[in-house]
Amino acid sequence: MNLGLKEKVIIVTGGAKGIGEGISSALALEGAYVAIVGRNEADNQKAIEKIQAAGGQAWSFVAELTQPEACAQVIEAIGTTFGRIDGLVNNAGVNDGVGLESGNYERFVQSLHSNLIHYYLMAHHALPYLKASKGSIVNIGSKTAETGQGGTSAYAAANGGRNALTREWAVELLPYGIRVNAVIVAECYTPLYDRWIKTLPNPEETLAKITEKIPFEKRMTTSEEIASMVAFLLSKKSSHTTGQLIHVDGGYVHLDRALL
């Protein structure tokens, strides 16, 4: 695709692994200058090497986004490096299993810092740049906000917040020509997902049961499919799309799986 993203400066948080790596790679292949934000320099560099080998360009910015001051600092560093910011992909986070029965106040609040608060802070600090470029924001979300999962209250709450912020920001930023959308993920097979499934008593059987419940083609969504939608939403090809929660999930959330 030629989405008109050549030399656009786009931030991808958690852009070195899993879905984030897929997004970084897809944007770099479109000619964007990708600012990968992650807590581990080695992981960032590994992703950058893959991107460069494929002919793209990316830069590493190390930040622990659970620390509010780090969000301000990394935006300042990116702005200083490039002089502009054209897009922000809020992606970093983890399903950390902080449940209603198993959790506590400290773990719940920490999970919100890991999964929601930095979404707000990154957008807040990037806003002056996005106003100047009439850029775009894409928030990555999870089905847990709509379907529930069990045993993961904090992560579900964070994702409900991500959805709400997407709609709220789309309204607030209308006067500046900034579009805000979310891509909602259901069952996407990543290295993290693979590690989780292998912790279960019967991983292959469990994976087969999950896959069987995905309506379209009975398969997991790929990180490349998520990435393609993100790239589209960041581009002018989606110039009249804002405030949308777009499910790239093979129909998992909204199709009645009992009828399939």
Task: Give residue 190's Cα distance to chain centre.
Answer: 13
Q: Are the C-beta atoms of 20 and 91 separated by less than 8 Å?
A: yes
Which of 33, 119, 129, 155 does the annotation list as catalytic? Answer: 155
252 is annotated as an active-site residue: no
Write the DSSP string, the chain: ---S-TT-EEEEETTTSHHHHHHHHHHHHTT-EEEEEES-HHHHHHHHHHHHHTT-EEEEEE--TTSHHHHHHHHHHHHHHHS---EEEE---------TTT--HHHHHHHHIIIIIHHHHHHHHHHHHHHHHT-EEEEEEETHHHH--SS-HHHHHHHHHHHHHHHHHHHHTGGGT-EEEEEEESSB--HHHHHHHTTSSSHHHHHHHHHHT-TTTTSPBPHHHHHHHHHHHHSGGGTT--S-EEEESTTTTTS-GGG-
Distance (Å, whole) CA 170 – CA 241 = 10
Q: Using the structure block, give the residue that is written with the tokens 């695709």.
A: 1
Distance (Å, whole) CA 129 – CA 41 = 25
List, in order, residues 6 or more apart from 244 with CB less than 8 Å away. Answer: 166, 181, 182
Q: What residues are annotated to the active site? A: 155
